[in-house]
Amino acid sequence: MKTIACFLMVFIGCVASAQQSPDFKSMRFDEDYSTVNDSTFGSKWYSRMKHLNLSENRRSYLSFGGDVRYQYFYVENENWGDSPEDHDGYILSRFLFHADLHLGKRVRFFVQTQSSLAEGRLDPSPVDQNPLELHQGFADFGLLENPTQKTALLLRIGRQELSYGSQRLVAVREGPNNRQSFDGAKAMLKVANFKADFFYTHYVRASDDIFDDESNDSRQFWGSYFRYDKIPYIGTTELYYLGLYRESVAFDSGITGNETRHSVGMRLANQIGGWRYDLEGVYQFGRFAMTDISAWTASVNTAFRFNSLKFKPEIGLKTEIISGDRDVTDDKTQTFNPLFPRGAYFGLAALVGPSNLIDVHPSISFNIAEGLDWTIDYDAFWRFSEQDGLYAPNASLIYPAGDSGEKEIGQQLATDFTWDANAFLSFRAEFTWFKAGKYLQSVTPGNDIIFTGLTMQLQF
């Protein structure tokens, strides 16, 4: 631990005086270092790490990078008192390292390893711990490129991350310790402001040993995603179809069977001055065991930032309605499946998942100083249907409906401070209090949850 800390301090000291800050992306393969030269980042060795030239025209090059994250969490009354009490807390660490090889403009190979460890965590899940794996390993082939007409067609084959829209349904799962990936192929077409993706993949299942993650034939994922930017008065419009096949699935009905689910959705997003909004609706259909699927969700996320005021306060309001099963004895399954969401859906505490849910979520945030933000948010949760239970972010059932006719799940009050110390290093401190509502009091001990978290993250 001390060796790593010393390495981080030396590294930060070497790059903090960079002439130009790198533009790190959530998905690291989206970064472009094609124009970097020896003096771009102030440090010659760091510039060469981001662009190690392999050809005279500088179109063939090798780039390296990584991400180191440490988190400490303490939870009081985990699972509302149903889990054994841990008085010491636990530490999550994640190491991501990648190499990006460009052979001209048409061929590219990207490899990324991931090591996610949980120290002091009682019975860690695959979301918390995955010792060492090939997280991504794919090849890109540029089939078409016409800069004049702003047209490009790219084919990606191999293990890769997927992320779309606001990450409600398809995400890299950055919040939890172990990010998720898929094995398959994706074709990406871009024409001016229009983008279209077509993909077919198998979910990569995390396992306990080293380099043993493999494609999961029992969970297949495919779809198409269309996006049009810079539409007058609207901003961005997204239309999509997502298909999912899963084996041995269980919902609150008590039935276990295979699921083939189709999701069609639309998203509108824009920012005009201090205003921003994000509207999305999804309908799902298909078959689960011997029942027909008919599920849906609608969400509104809007905010206004007062840029002329001190600390630039931003007031936001999110609300979602997410369907649940109204009658477990009929031939319909109405529980919404969030597919592969971002995990920490309602904060790092990640106590409730987006199925069978009504959520009202006001918030306020302040830019206290350069790089330092403070956010306070409040969540109120209810079950959409009293005949359906409470689900986790991964759509697994936490508690069944039971005999409780209560819909109130609870209320959550959270606050966090985020500090970007420089372009490479950031810190986050979060506190969450979840007050158990009448439904949770009827199916659990009903204790209130206290959750605290500290995060340090270095990207390079």
Q: How far apart are CA 351 and CA 71, in angstroms?
A: 17
Contact partners, residue 91, CB within 8 Å, separation at least 6: 70, 71, 72, 73, 118, 119, 120
> What is the C-alpha to C-alpha distance for residues 104 and 81, in angstroms, rounded to an integer?
57
Reply yes or no on whether the pLDDT at 24 is more than 60.
Answer: yes
Tokens (6 digits) for 267: 């998203």
Number of neighbouring beta carbons within 10 Å of residue 145: 14
Distance CA 201, CA 185 (A): 6
DSSP 3-state assignment of 181?
A: coil
Q: Is the CB of residue 415 less than 8 Å from the CB of residue 398?
A: no
Q: Grade residue 86 by pLDDT with cuts at 50, 70 and 90.
A: confident
Query: Per-residue pLDDT for 11 more than 80?
Result: no
Nearest to 393 by CA among 74, 171, 119, 71: 171
pLDDT, tens digit, for every residue of 94-125? 999 999 999 999 999 999 999 999 999 888 88
What is the structure's pLDDT at 447? Answer: 95
CB 36 within 8 A of CB 64: no
Q: Report the distance separating Cα 237 and Cα 74, nearest Å.
A: 40
Q: Dump pLDDT digits (tens) for 324-345.
A: 999 888 889 999 999 999 877 7
pLDDT at 375: 97
229-268 tens-digit pLDDT: 989 889 999 999 999 999 988 887 778 889 999 999 999 9
Would you state the structure tokens that stand for residue 249, as one six-digit string? 């699935």
In the three-class reduction of DSSP (H, G, I as helix; E, B as strand; rest coil), residue 364 is classed as strand
Which token pair is 445? Answer: 């001990």
Q: What is the pLDDT of residue 394?
A: 82
67, two tokens: 């991400």
Please give the structure tokens belonging to residue 32.
């472009």
The mean pLDDT value for 154-182 works out to 95
Q: How far apart are CA 187 and CA 135, in angstroms?
A: 20
What CA–CA distance (Å, rounded) separates 279 from 418?
26
What integer pLDDT is reported at residue 12 of this predicted model?
57
Give how far Cα 352 sits from Cα of 49, 69, 98, 393, 398, Å.
Answer: 41, 24, 33, 6, 9
Burial of 99 (0-12, 13-18, 19+ CB in 10 A): middle
Average pLDDT, the chain: 92
Question: pLDDT-based confidence at 396, cuts 50/70/90?
Answer: confident
Which has more pLDDT, 404 or 412?
412
Confidence bin at 226 (pLDDT 50/70/90): very high
- pLDDT recorded at residue 5: 53
With the CA atoms of 387, 389, 390 and 393 taken in that order, what torsion angle do they form, in degrees rounded to the nearest 10? Answer: -110
Q: Is the pLDDT of residue 13 over 60?
A: no
Provide the CATH topology of domain 57-459.
Porin (2.40.160)
456: CB partners within 8 A, 6+ apart: 69, 70, 71, 425, 426, 427
Instruction: Note whether 343 and 127 are within 8 A (CB).
Output: yes
pLDDT band at 168 (very low <50, low <70, confident <90, very high): very high
Copy the structure tokens of residue 158. Answer: 């191999």
Q: Residue 52 pLDDT > 60, yes or no? A: yes
pLDDT of residue 16: 53
Match 């090591």 to its residue by tokens.
115
Q: Given its phi and psi angles, is residue 30 left (phi above 0), alpha (psi -120 to 50 degrees) or beta?
A: alpha
Q: Indicate the pTM of the whole model.
A: 0.92
Distance CA 406, CA 404 (A): 5
**pLDDT: which is higher, 284 or 87:** 284
The 3-state DSSP class for residue 8 equals helix
pLDDT tens, 267-314? 999 999 999 999 999 999 999 988 999 999 999 999 999 999 999 999
Query: Phi and psi dihedrals of 44, rounded to 5?
Result: -65, -40
Give 364's pLDDT tier (boundaries 50, 70, 90). very high
